Chains A and B, each alone.
Chain A
Amino acid sequence: MMLRSLLRALSHPRVFFFCCIWLIVLLTVGTIAQRDLGLYLAQEKYFSSWFLFVGFLPLPGGRLTMLLTFINLALFHTKKTLWRPKKIGVLITHFGALLLLVGGFLTAYFSSEGTMVINEGETVSFVSSDEVKELVLADQNHPDYDEITAIPEALLKVGSTLTHPNIPGSFEVLEYYRNCRPVPRKNQDSGPYRGLAERFELERIPEAQERQQNRAGIVLKVSGIDEQNDGIYALYERSPMLQTLSDGQRTVALVLRRERTYLPFSLELLDFQQNLHPGTGMAKSYRSIVNLHQGETSRRVVIQMNEPLRLAGRTFFQASFFKGNNTETTVLQVVKNYGRMFPYISSIIMCIGLLIHLVIKVPGLIAKKKSESNA
């Protein structure tokens, strides 16, 4: 009985109406907040969240609002009274809106963005995530390859204990920071401290507006190896100090870094070219001339502004570059988005639905108008 009432309530047109108004409010507030928070923090707080807290008051976030809209629209299609020829335009339009939300969910959960940084003459076969980190144990003892054990950020929750055949002993996550800095150690109560943690501790700092500027950090308690290696370790992104761990049989390097996704092909930067507007120092265009190595074949590809490389479900955009004394480096933005076609397809479907509804309704409206004016 309760379930029936709940479903009836969720299918009411008022749900759609209030969800749309709330989405407009979120969009307005989130857009203004972006000025101070930056694009990604504002997106996380207002649009990608389930709940938004104003003080202690929880309000629906963008994700929850869109889920309710999806359920409402989907329940709409289950109403038998709507499945009539005269309502076909309405059904198609609502289906288009539903498809738009499906595309949104696919983008939210299955898309990824990252960067490929390639020096001239270098070949790179992985994309580094812009947002997600990983803790990696790199066994570099083999002559031909490195064996990488990657622990995703989602498993690095404070209080969790990590075990795996490739992890020496066990790791307990004591602290995890999305942005931090190393400061001289003051607290010597716990311990023993190893490596960087002997002289430094990590201090949480506010997240940067540009997420690439964040420096994640983690403090781990390692147990179960031996007296020399058990202890508390601190790692942070881009640390110049390499942390190693040994269990007597092998030594592994511990690194906290942006999550890498290895591709079934590699890109070798042959040349980076920058064209300036004549007589100015302003860039007109950049382009990367790369060798695409795919299996046994290689081919020359040019990636430049407005002409990305599309391959294997990913799009490689020319994003940025930097110049050193002796070398140039290209930065490619790599986007994988399964939902990228949904806005186009759903917009076309909604237009078709509206047109059909118009064609069905207009003759009747004209006839009604005529009879009213005759009366």
Chain B
Amino acid sequence: MLGIPKFRLLPAILGIGLVGCGNPEITVYQVPKAPQPPAQAAAAPQPAQAAPSAGILWKVPPGWIEKPASGMRLASFEMPTADGKGDCSIITLAGDGGGTLNNLNRWRSQLGLDPIPPSELDSAMSTRTGGFGDYSFFRIVNPEVDEKAFLVSIIHTDRGALFVKLTASRRSIDSLTEPFQALSDSIHIPDE
């Protein structure tokens, strides 16, 4: 070619050829639907489930695993997050459950946040509508605490107050907001 033995080009061609392999492409394949074992079945989207004693129902968000109820907990859930797992519970307390502001400040203190005065309560919460009508939703986060943050819904009913509380890392709390709100919205008394 240029008076160069052709085999002297071979190493360079081989070297460049080795690094230039492979073209990505879209692939289509079929995966048989496998029967789900109990653990996965519990995590699959579930129809509304009766609480053991309170006579209320809720819809479990996809991917959340319902655990046995115990003590004051009407329901317990666990869900995988980017950095571990989150925990959510539904509990019921008589009357107003000790008052919204008292409970909010108690949760704030658990995260090292200062309590807020009554005048700031409205700005700390948002109002949503669910099976029991309007309820209060709180997102409680301390930017200096990574391992814990809370989402809380307080639902007032004629039987007492329902507290739906989710605990997860600060990084995971945003991604859990939608399913948490869906769960809170879904809590209701079934039609008889």
Q: Hey, which bits of chain A sit against chain B, CB under 8 A?
A: 1, 3-4, 7, 10, 63, 67, 70-71, 74-75, 77-78, 102, 105, 109, 119-123, 142-152, 154-155, 162, 164, 166, 181-183, 196, 199-200, 213, 215, 236, 238-242, 262, 324-327
Contacts and interface: CB of A to CB of B under 8 A. Distances in A.
A213 B67 CA distance: 26
A3 B21 CA distance: 24
Nearest to A184: B174
B82 A238 contact: yes
B108 interface: no
B2 A324 contact: no
B4 A105 contact: no
A198 to B, nearest CB: 11
B40 A105 contact: no
Given A3-B4, A75-B8, A75-B11, 14 more contacts: A7-B4, A67-B19, A71-B15, A105-B19, A121-B38, A121-B39, A145-B33, A152-B26, A152-B27, A154-B24, A155-B24, A166-B26, A238-B80, A240-B63
Name the residue among B10, B26, B174, B178 with the largest chain A CB count within 10 angstroms. B26
A7 B5 CA distance: 11
Contacts of B8: 7, 75, 78
Contacts of A151: 26
Nearest to B3: A4
B96 interface: no
Nearest to B35: A123
B37 A122 contact: yes
B28 A166 contact: yes
Interface in B1-46: 2-5, 7-12, 14-16, 18-19, 21-22, 24-34, 37-40
Contact of A240 (B5, B26, B175): B175
B28 A71 contact: no
Interface of B: 2-5, 7-12, 14-16, 18-19, 21-22, 24-34, 37-40, 61-65, 67-68, 78-83, 171, 174-176, 178-179
Contacts of A154: 24
Contacts of B33: 143-146
Contacts of A142: 30
B40 A239 contact: no
Contact of A152 (B7, B24, B68): B24
B39 A149 contact: no
A324 B32 contact: no
Contacts of B4: 3-4, 7
18 contacts: A70-B15, A75-B11, A78-B8, A109-B21, A122-B37, A122-B39, A144-B33, A145-B31, A146-B30, A148-B29, A152-B25, A152-B26, A154-B24, A166-B26, A236-B175, A238-B175, A241-B179, A326-B39
A147 B156 CA distance: 45
Contacts of B5: 78
A325 B12 contact: no
A199 B39 CA distance: 31
B83 A119 contact: no
A74 B2 CA distance: 20
A100 B103 CA distance: 65
Nearest to A329: B39
B43 to A, nearest CB: 10
A326 B24 CA distance: 41
Given A78-B7, A213-B82, A150 B39 contact: no
A149 B28 contact: yes
B19 A147 contact: no
Contacts of B26: 149-152, 155, 162, 164, 166
A146 B33 CA distance: 6
A213 B174 contact: no
B11 A147 contact: no
A144 B22 CA distance: 33
Contact of A1 (B2, B9, B12, B61): B2
A372 B31 CA distance: 79
B78 A324 contact: yes
Nearest to A163: B26
B149 to A, nearest CB: 13
B30 A74 contact: no
Contacts of A327: 39
Contacts of B81: 238
Given A148-B30, A150-B29, A240 B82 contact: no
Contacts of B16: 67
A183 B141 CA distance: 14
A241 B178 contact: yes
B11 A70 contact: yes
Nearest to A203: B174
B28 A325 contact: no
A145 B28 contact: no
